[in-house]
Amino acid sequence: MPDIKHFDPDEALDRVVRLFWEHGAATTSIQAVATATGLNRSSLYATFGGKRELYLAALRRYLRDHSHRAFAFVAEDGRGLPAIREFFAGLIELRCTGPYAGWGCMAVNAHAGGERDDPEVRGLLDDHHERLRGAMCTALLTARSQGDLSPGADVDAAAETLALLAYGVNLRSRAGAEAAGLRRTVDVALGAVGAMGASG
Amino acid sequence: MPDIKHFDPDEALDRVVRLFWEHGAATTSIQAVATATGLNRSSLYATFGGKRELYLAALRRYLRDHSHRAFAFVAEDGRGLPAIREFFAGLIELRCTGPYAGWGCMAVNAHAGGERDDPEVRGLLDDHHERLRGAMCTALLTARSQGDLSPGADVDAAAETLALLAYGVNLRSRAGAEAAGLRRTVDVALGAVGAMGASG
DNA sequence: GGTATCTTGAAATCAACGTTCCAAGAACGC
DNA sequence: GCGTTCTTGGAACGTTGATTTCAAGATACC
pLDDT at A116: 97
Residue B160: closest CA among chain A residues belongs to which residue? A185
Q: Determine contact, residues A44/A125, Cβ cutoff 8 Å.
A: no
| Cα–Cα distance for residue pair B25/B11, rounded to 1 Å | 19
For position A198, what pLDDT does the model report? Answer: 56
Q: What is the pLDDT of residue B5?
A: 84
Predicted confidence at residue B199, as pLDDT, reads: 47
**What's the angle, vertex CA B107, arms to CA A178 and CA B165, rounded to 5?**
60
Q: What is the CA radius of gyration of chain A?
A: 19
Within 10 A of A131 (CB to CB), how many other CB atoms are there? 18
pLDDT value for B134:
98
Contacts of A122 in chain B (CB under 8 A): 175-176
Is nucleic acid strand C under 7 Å from A41's C-beta? yes
Q: Which CATH code for domain A60-194?
A: 1.10.357.10
CB–CB of A164 and B160 under 8 A? no
Select from B113, B160, B186 the Cβ nearest to the Cβ of A112: B113
pLDDT in tens, A7-55: 898 999 999 999 999 999 999 999 999 999 999 999 999 999 999 999 9
Chain A residues near residue B104 by CB distance under 8 angstroms: 111-112
CATH architecture of B59-194: Orthogonal Bundle (1.10)
Say if CB B74 and CB B30 are below 8 A apart: no
CA of A105 to C1' of C11 (A): 38
Cα–Cα dist B20/A114, whole Å: 11
In contact, A197 and A144? CB cutoff 8 Å: no
Per-residue H/E/C for A57-76: HHHHHHHHHHHHHHHHHHHH
Chain B residues touching A168 at Cβ < 8 A: 163-168
What is the per-residue pLDDT for B197?
A: 59
Q: How far is the CA of A46 from the C1' of C13 (A)?
A: 18
pLDDT tens readout for residues A69-105? 999 999 999 999 999 999 999 999 999 999 999 999 9
Quick one: pLDDT at residue B59?
98
CA atoms of B75 and B79, how far apart (whole Å): 9
Which residues of chain B are under the pLDDT cut of 50?
A: 199-200
Q: What is the pLDDT of residue A200?
A: 40
Taken in order B68, A174, A27, A118, is the CA torsion positive or negative? negative
Q: Report the C-alpha gap between B111 and A171 in whole angstroms.
A: 6
The residue-averaged pLDDT of A146-165 equals: 96
Quick check: B124 and B67 in contact, CB under 8 A?
no
Q: Which of residues 23-62 of A touch strand D (CB under 7 A)?
A: 28-32, 41-42, 45, 50-52
In whole angstroms, give the CA distance from residue A101 to residue A170: 10
End-to-end distance of chain B based on CA atoms, in angstroms?
68
Transcribe chain A into DSSP letters: -----SS-HHHHHHHHHHHHHHHTTTT--HHHHHHHHT--HHHHHHHH-SHHHHHHHHHHHHIIIIIHHHHHHHHHH-SSHHHHHHHHHHHHHHHHSSTTTT---HHHHHHHSGGGGSHHHHHHHHHHHHHHHHHHHHHHHHHHHTTSS-TT--HHHHHHHHHHHHHHHHHHHTTT--HHHHHHHHHHHHHHHHTTTS--
pLDDT at B37: 96
Instruction: Answer whether B116 sits within 8 Å of A175, measured CB to CB.
Output: yes
Characterise B5 by phi-psi region: left (phi > 0), alpha (psi -120 to 50), beta (else).
beta
Q: Give the HSE-up count for residue B51: Cα atoms under 13 Å, Cβ half-sphere.
A: 15
Q: Is the CB of B26 under 7 A from strand D?
A: no
List the end-to-end C-alpha distance of chain A, in Å, as a whole number. Answer: 68
